[in-house]
Structure 1
Amino acid sequence: MSTSTSGITEYTRDGLTFDVTDRGDPSAPAVLLLHGFPEDRQSWAAVADRLVDAGLRTLAPDQRGYSPRARPDEPYPQAYALTELADDALALLDAAGVDRVHLVGHDWGGALAWMLAGAHPDRVATLTVLSTPHPAALRRAATSTPWQLAHSSYMLFFQMPRLPERVLLRRLEGLLRSSGMPRAEAERYAGRMREPGALTGALGWYRAMRHSRGAVHRSRVPTTLVWGRHDGFLGRQAAESTGAMVLADYRFVEVDEGHWLPERQPDLCAAEIAARVAGTV
């Protein structure tokens, strides 16, 4: 696998500095990889290996709340609204000299990717989302299916002040492993969340949910959703109804897997991303 790096290692926006891994030929088609909770840019390492070997450029940032120099305190939690997170991603494209990008997101990064594809189709060439149904489909499922409501209840808990930090600092590694994340990654992510301010920054995405309602529209670009039928957080109804939220070519891929697709299935993820980029799906 290729280990080459190129281009930028960080960028700034509104006084915040974000760490980035920029790999591959700077002139190649660019793929922006947006991680979820409680992951970071390293969650994409194995996927990026394969994409770079396929002739693509990959940009993987530690996003707002995850980069140590990009953890705003005020105003909070509005500072973590999807519109702010989207502007962070667009600023990265500008810093990297990318006009239009092939966009990929997982978990919360998937929700942000849906937002970008709907609101900024001029900057997004294609969209591949791993695990995360369209937010509107997920909201409908949460109000109509007991399974999704029960399995989304942790999102409400995370919006409470202080208590989630106390609980998760003790239990996060075990919770990740019990949900199917490989042990090494669970240990590393839990360790990073113990850095000062890291967990509160990551939870800012949940605590800003009420400031992000209505921000996500239908995707207007060619789109693929890859969903694991054993996902313990995001259920079938939301996944299967996501196609109605895409106003372009759409592909739904159901796999025999759980939630943590970038870590557990890098070959599959890279193949679906590369196929969407090439327009061969």
Structure 2
Amino acid sequence: MPDHHALAPLRRVSTDILEVAYYEAGPTEGDTVLLLHGFPYDIHSYAEVVPLLADSGFRVVVPHLRGHGPTRFLSGTTPRSGQQAALGADVIALMDALGMPRAYLAGYDWGGRAANVAAALWPERVLGLVSVNSYLIQDIAAAAEPLDPEREAGFWYFYYFLTERGRAGLARDPQEVARVIWKRNSPKWPFRERDLERAARSFANPDYTDVVLHSYRHRLGFAPGAAPYARLEARLAELPPITVPAVTLDGLADGNFPATDGSSTARHFTGPRLHHTVADAGHNLPQERPEAFAAAVRDVRDLRQEHAARDRPTGRRRDTT
């Protein structure tokens, strides 16, 4: 049976270290939005979001993140890092390769973190941000602080991936690892077997295991960062604010990340911000509630335009007498 929601065919472009495989849709002259997927998911989290945004006038670009799908490292000597600075730097490098001066960034999980990093460190490149679960820059210095036991149980794979047993398990059966995580992350999402199988095809990337393990080992302080990202990680350790217009989302049925009213992360957003909760949505919010995610992208465009109009000079002559 043909998959009418497949994001194909893919295009490819080279950055300084990657050949990035990506899907593109929409008018070339429209505002661009990059849609960034999470782990353990793939670009098809956005299969139903893409046409909604293309119809709203956006140029839509959906890349496979490093270690996923056909995206490949150009050199065998490049560290297979999954740390947050690497993910954020990849976003800017992709924009450079595509000749894209500025764009909206939207994502969840790993993709949301990449978007947060790019927005915080390169705000001049980011028109606006949509982020599921709000502020996602990791406070690695606080990684040893425990969460409540219920949430720790949901993050079992963080600790599994610290071990060589976890490496072997992920390498042997990434699809079943993803199944367990999907169920916990989104208890109300009745995903189909073909949804999981399609996403799992992107896990066949030869660098998938190394990138995933480094991501979790680094964030918990069990692996050093790659040297090329040391300066960026030092800046991220300061938990820099998001100054660009932002719309943040929480799914009310997220099994691992309890929904909030946004106030707990408000200090990290110093630009205009809206926060929404989404009924019946779990962690993979764009695939579970595509219309809500697409609406958030339209909202951040409106928020930017409203903010720009408010700051624009009126052109009226000032009376100085």
| TM-score normalized with structure 2 length | 0.74
- Match status 1:41 vs 2:43: yes
Are 2:33 and 2:104, in contact at CA under 8 Å, matched by a contact in 1? yes
Residue from 261, 268, 275 that aligns with 1:245: 268
Are 2:15 and 2:97, in contact at CA under 8 Å, matched by a contact in 1? no
Paired residue secondary structure (1:190): helix
Paired residues, number: 277
Distance 1:232 1:76, change over 3 A: farther
Q: Counterpart of 1:223? A: 246
Q: Counterpart of 2:89? A: 87
Are 1:142 and 1:148, in contact at CA under 8 Å, matched by a contact in 2? no
Q: Distance in 2 between matches of 1:151 and 1:239?
A: 22
Distance 1:133 1:105, change over 3 A: same
> Within 5 Å, which residues of 2 pair with 1:154-233?
154-161=157-164, 163-167=166-170, 169-170=172-173, 171-179=176-184, 180=186, 182-183=191-192, 184-209=194-219, 210=221, 211=225, 212=233, 215=236, 216-233=239-256
Residue 244 of structure 1 aligns to which amino acid in structure 2? R
Once the 2 structures are TM-superposed, how far is the Cα of residue 119 of structure 1 from its aligned partner?
Answer: 0.6
Once the 2 structures are TM-superposed, how far is the Cα of residue 225 of structure 1 from its aligned partner?
Answer: 0.9
Once the 2 structures are TM-superposed, how far is the Cα of residue 157 of structure 1 from its aligned partner?
Answer: 2.5
Are 1:30 and 1:58, in contact at CA under 8 Å, matched by a contact in 2? yes
Unaligned runs of 5+ in 1: none
Name which of structure 1's ranges 87-96 and 54-63 shifts more when overlaid on structure 2. Answer: 87-96
Q: Distance in 1 between matches of 2:265 and 2:67?
A: 28
> Within 5 Å, which residues of 2 pair with 1:14-33?
14-33=16-35
Q: Distance in 2 between matches of 1:246 and 1:59?
A: 25
Are 2:285 and 2:293, in contact at CA under 8 Å, matched by a contact in 1? yes
Distance 1:33 1:138, change over 3 A: farther
Residue 255 of structure 1 aligns to which amino acid in structure 2? V
Once the 2 structures are TM-superposed, how far is the Cα of residue 70 of structure 1 from its aligned partner?
Answer: 1.9
- Match status 1:270 vs 2:270: no
CA RMSD in angstroms, aligned pairs only: 3.2
Q: Counterpart of 1:51? A: 53
Q: Distance in 2 between matches of 1:166 and 1:234?
A: 25
Name which of structure 1's ranges 187-196 and 136-145 shifts more when overlaid on structure 2. Answer: 136-145
Q: Distance in 2 between matches of 1:213 and 1:156?
A: 24
Unaligned runs of 5+ in 2: 226-232, 307-321
Question: Of the two, which has the highest radius of gyration?
Answer: 2
Once the 2 structures are TM-superposed, how far is the Cα of residue 196 of structure 1 from its aligned partner?
Answer: 4.0
Q: Distance in 2 between matches of 1:141 and 1:242?
A: 17
Identity of aligned residues (%): 26
Once the 2 structures are TM-superposed, how far is the Cα of residue 12 of structure 1 from its aligned partner?
Answer: 1.1
Name which of structure 1's ranges 224-233 and 161-170 shifts more when overlaid on structure 2. Answer: 161-170
